Structure 1
């Protein structure tokens, strides 16, 4: 039995980042951090996350009947709201502090979390930028992507385009075959470098900026690629007046009651880390 005190200590323990790592993230807009969560934490929280995904998953169609987005993964959002048992993992100070340090900000708030489970035979995730969906008036956004199981190289991490987040808003296309084609052509025309980190162990984590171009391969293995993600936004950020239907939906879903120009502090955007609380 894993002791509660041990779990709390590990969730709060600092993950040391070197200046080399901080500079790498600033340059590339993505980074891989090994052993961000210990085997102890994965052993404790993976079964709880899997249970919630199974309970909340409403996708009953076989893969062949779904569109590209539906084939890419099962997506369950804001587990922290739905499960008191999962919430401590999502709100780990250890993870949030890393997010703040990589972005060079003093504090971070919740945007939302999501479990992304790519089923056996699941399809590829097209090229996209996350932040086309987010009505936030900042470039200080970041996503933690953490496998809950060891994933082999043929599934691997996502593929990132280094430095692409410095280009800002490239295309309004939502995740689709068309976004993949259009952004692939852009990447090739600009000669932008791509990085794929290969096999990852359960508890390793990648972080990437909201504007970083990325995609992921399909899953040719017989095992589900179980991943938990948390999206952070810098504390003090204001709402950007939504200019697309996707951003209008996100405003309603993840920042309820807020309007353009408001500080992001709805009940769904709690403070997750602040340096002045250390």
Structure 2
């Protein structure tokens, strides 16, 4: 697998300014096959954190799982040894990169359940601006069912995180964060980004970027692996509620405001085996 993957200044500027960029062909065919194997292994061995995010009467099925890299060699290989850590360092403009977590998102064919507009960071237990998530499909994704973003929204407000299926506020108390505007009803105000993707492509986005996606069409399975990384300024931000994903016992080891120096968040750039 590739150890490094220089990206253009224009791509980095696009990430900084827009909060999301497309990256073409950053995973090799061997990487994609390895990731497919990891996803199928994950689906066959779901963790206690796994959930079905679609309704029982949905003709398809939307499955999510979190934080399984330690028990999935294929995931671990991609997260630590592919081009992703080096790309993350460049996009975040960070000297160091730590793995935050992995996230599986599989929408089977004919899934009606959309992914509503939301930001990721309000669900998390981290603070800081240097972060990046990679949304990596191992199936072809047409424009109609790709991940969409509001350009530049990572520089704006934090919005109230809610559950996807029933829109409940289980994290911040009602009224403490802004409510989501009607994004799709005002395309001139909320300029959207989105790209059709092939296996080997991915999208990189900031954890405060507003994003959403639709369901899938007939015969259009969509298996996606998300890799989330943190940079130099990331700090532990314990919450008085269960974060998504949760990290049980972490507050006993890491004080509020401390760097995430913990085995759960290994340093992946610079390569540990290449440090002096």
Please give the range of the TM-score, normalised by the shorter of the 2 chains: 0.7 to 0.9
Residue 173 of structure 1 aligns with which residue? 162
Matched, 1:112 2:114: no
Residue by residue over 1:4-37, the C-alpha shift from the partner in whole angstroms, topping out at 9 and shown as x without a partner, is: xxxxxx231x222111111111110000000010
Instruction: Report the count of equivalent residues.
Output: 260
Contact 2:110 2:217 in 1 (8 A): yes
Query: Following TM superposition, by how much is the alpha carbon of 1:124 offset from its aligned partner in structure 2, in angstroms?
Result: 0.6
* Structure 2 portions without partners, runs of 5+: 169-178
Residue 227 of structure 2 aligns with which residue? 230
Worse overlay, 254-263 or 199-208: 254-263
SS at match of 2:269: strand
Change (3 A) 1:274 1:57: closer
* Structure 1 portions without partners, runs of 5+: 1-9
C-alpha distance in 1 between matches for 2:242 and 2:200: 31
| Aligned counterparts, 1:1-278, within 5 A | 10-12=1-3, 14-56=4-46, 64-65=55-56, 73-122=62-111, 123-155=113-145, 157-176=146-165, 178=167, 182-185=179-182, 188=186, 191-197=189-195, 199-235=196-232, 237-243=234-240, 245-247=241-243, 250-252=246-248, 257-274=253-270, 277=275
C-alpha distance in 2 between matches for 1:256 and 1:119: 39
Change (3 A) 1:251 1:84: closer
Contact 1:127 1:214 in 2 (8 A): yes
Contact 1:239 1:264 in 2 (8 A): yes
Residue 176 of structure 2 aligns with which residue? none
C-alpha distance in 1 between matches for 2:134 and 2:80: 12
Residue by residue over 1:156-215, the C-alpha shift from the partner in whole angstroms, topping out at 9 and shown as x without a partner, is: x20100000001413243445648xx5242673991211121x21011010000100000
Change (3 A) 1:159 1:253: farther
SS at match of 2:261: coil
Query: Following TM superposition, by how much is the alpha carbon of 1:225 offset from its aligned partner in structure 2, in angstroms?
Result: 0.3
